[in-house]
Amino acid sequence: MASGSSELLRRLIGLFAFRLHTATRVLVLVVGLVGMATPSMAEEESIRPPVGAESLGVVVNVQDPRSVELARLYMRERGVPEANLVAVSFTPGQVDLSPAVFKAIYREAIEPLGSRIQALVLTWRRPYRVGCMSVTSAFALGYDPAYCSSGCEWTKPVPYFGSSTRSPWSDMGLRPSMMLTAESFDELSRLIVRGIQADGSHPVGPLSFVLLTSDPHRGVRGQRRPPGSVWKAPGEPDIALQYVKTDALRRQSALLMYSAGTAQVAHLVENSFLPGGVGDHLTSYGAVLEGNTGQMSVLKWISAGATGTYGTVTEPCNYVQKFPDPEVFLSRYVEGDTLVEAYWKSVLMPGQGLFVGEPLARPFGPPAARR
């Protein structure tokens, strides 16, 4: 990130151009984030390993048999040490964990973990929300209403955005968290396999798209650059992000990233993802995993073959800062970050967002040890 100080500044200025409240708030945030990008930090991080099996905590609800089964399966397939199993206990099946119950869980099970555990994976489908926060953000950051809003407002940003750190807990006091879930256990098994297959795959000519859709509110990420523009990842000319004007992709293969902007994503199953590929759509309630919201669930991305996805659990309005920045994501992914790291680093205000997928997928790292 040392060479990217000016690049980060450029990204932030472009990002905040969508919605500015006051110049002062932007200036404080930009200066704070750019200040992290010192050469010494970048040099130090380049020799640190990313989050891996040794530093990933597997959080299991001991009252939920499916959570226990999934935790054991994942730890076996990924070679996660038994010491990294983080047991919590709450009544299963509830979609919303109360802040009071969560705070007790966090205090007893998460706070004592220490620096050995740098990231977390949650092995259940419910709950997906803690008060106004997503459950992944609550476990990552601790419960704080400043990370969510009751209306169309900015929320508390995280310094992890765009950073080069590979020790987020040690350096920044947060543990990026991801929920390992899908619509069925068979899909979960396939998701884990895709994550392992992604490791060290170094895809040649992968396809990544940002859509400028006919929905003026949900298609705001596509407004960043003119239709037809192509952005290339620094140092990786084969990793190109195409900005296209359409409501949905059709018959595209080898997808590494698909950033959509509609409530429902049409023709999704006509496309195919690479192992380690991600897809998400900017809409209000994509991560409300139960009930009929009239908007596509993020789990449809997993069913379609994505290894990671993201959506919000409470109304975020169409602030791009609350959704993944495709350029930041790809920049970090090609640097060798794992999925959980790169995805988290691409969201400036993640408090309302649920991260779903196989956290250790690492296409631009060494191959995984087969188990």
The tens-digit pLDDT sequence of the chain (371 residues) is: 334 444 443 444 344 333 333 333 332 333 333 334 444 444 555 568 899 999 999 999 999 999 999 999 999 999 999 999 999 999 999 999 999 999 999 999 999 999 999 999 999 999 999 999 999 999 999 999 999 987 799 999 999 999 999 999 999 999 999 999 999 999 999 999 999 999 999 998 899 999 999 999 999 999 999 999 999 998 888 899 999 999 999 999 999 999 999 999 999 999 999 999 999 999 999 999 998 999 999 999 999 999 999 999 999 999 999 999 999 999 999 999 999 999 999 999 999 999 999 999 999 998 765 44
CA distance 346 to 275: 19
CA distance 178 to 358: 8
What are phi and psi for residue 128, nearest 5 degrees?
-115, 0
**Side chain identity at 145, as an amino acid letter?**
P
Count of helices and strands (H, E) across the chain: 11, 14
**Side chain identity at 95, as an amino acid letter?**
V
What is the predicted pLDDT for the residue at 48? 80
CA distance 308 to 197: 14
pTM: 0.89
CA end-to-end distance (rounded Å), the chain: 34
156 and 351 Cβ atoms separated by less than 8 Å: yes
What is the predicted pLDDT for the residue at 304? 98
- Does 186 reside within a domain? no
CA distance 68 to 188: 14
CA distance 120 to 55: 9
CA distance 254 to 275: 9
CA distance 231 to 137: 29
Taking the CA atoms of the chain, what radius of gyration do you get in angstroms? 19
Supply 254's token pair: 């080898």
CA distance 135 to 141: 10
What is the predicted pLDDT for the residue at 124? 98
- Does 16 reside within a domain? yes
- Does 26 reside within a domain? yes
Total count of domains within the chain: 1
- Does 9 reside within a domain? yes
Supply 250's token pair: 């059709």
- Does 31 reside within a domain? yes
Task: Provide the domain limits for residue 42.
Answer: 2-46
- Does 25 reside within a domain? yes
Instruction: Give CA torsion, residues 135, 138, 140, 146, to 10 deg.
Output: 140
- Does 53 reside within a domain? no
CA 327 vs CA 15, 25, 243, 259: distances in Å: 11, 23, 11, 11
Residue 259 makes CB contacts below 8 A (sequence gap 6+) with 209, 210, 211, 221, 222, 279, 280, 281, 282, 324, 326
**Side chain identity at 32, as an amino acid letter?**
G
What is the predicted pLDDT for the residue at 44? 55
What is the predicted pLDDT for the residue at 369? 53
What is the predicted pLDDT for the residue at 20? 32
- Does 269 reside within a domain? no
Strands 177-179 and 207-212: unpaired
CA distance 78 to 305: 19
What is the predicted pLDDT for the residue at 41? 47
Instruction: Give CA torsion, residues 175, 257, 205, 268, to 10 deg.
Output: 140
What is the predicted pLDDT for the residue at 235? 84
